Structures are given as structure tokens and as C-alpha cells.
Amino acid sequence: MAKTQLNVRVDETTAAAARERAAQRGVSVNRYIEELVRKDAGERGRSFVEAAADFMERYESVFAEEFGAEREGRR
């Protein structure tokens, strides 16, 4: 996978915390930030899927009533 460079400005406290946490994990700061972003994106994706499933469960009967006949080829 191709890599893209990002330039990010953070205060010194945040930079020091990132360096420290990366060192504790034995990875570079780049790798640490990349893992944080991937984790965050994964959690958002999971949250979206859960919310969509909940929505469909709650409103399935409404959709079936409104669109069920069309879905089955009847009008």
C-alpha cells in the first residue's frame, strides 16, 4: 500500500505523549498514529452497522408494509 505523508501540528504535551506511548508499544510515532486512526475508523464503522441494524429491526414492518409488494414483483 502506498504511503502518504501528513503534516500535523500538535502542542508539545500531545507530541510528548505520542512519543511516549509509541515507545511503550515499541513502534514509531507514525505507526502509533496510524493504528489510532484505523482503530477509530473501525469503531465508527462498527457503530454505523449496529445503528443501521437497530434501525432496520425497529422499522422493518414499516418498510415491508410500504414496499413489500413491489419487492416481491407485485404492485
pLDDT of 47-64, one tens digit each? 788 888 888 888 888 878
- Please check whether residue 3 lies inside any domain of the structure: no
Helices (H), 1-75: 12-25, 29-71
pTM for this model (two decimals):
0.57
Are residues 64 and 56 in contact, defined by beta-carbon separation less than 8 angstroms? no
- Please check whether residue 2 lies inside any domain of the structure: no
- Please check whether residue 54 lies inside any domain of the structure: yes
- Please check whether residue 7 lies inside any domain of the structure: no
The mean pLDDT value for 6-20 works out to 94
The mean pLDDT value for 9-15 works out to 94
* pLDDT at residue number 70: 56
Are residues 21 and 31 in contact, defined by beta-carbon separation less than 8 angstroms? no
Higher pLDDT, 3 or 44: 3
Lookup result for grid cell 473501525: 42
- How many domains does one find in the chain? 1
> Which structural domain range is residue 50 located in?
12-71
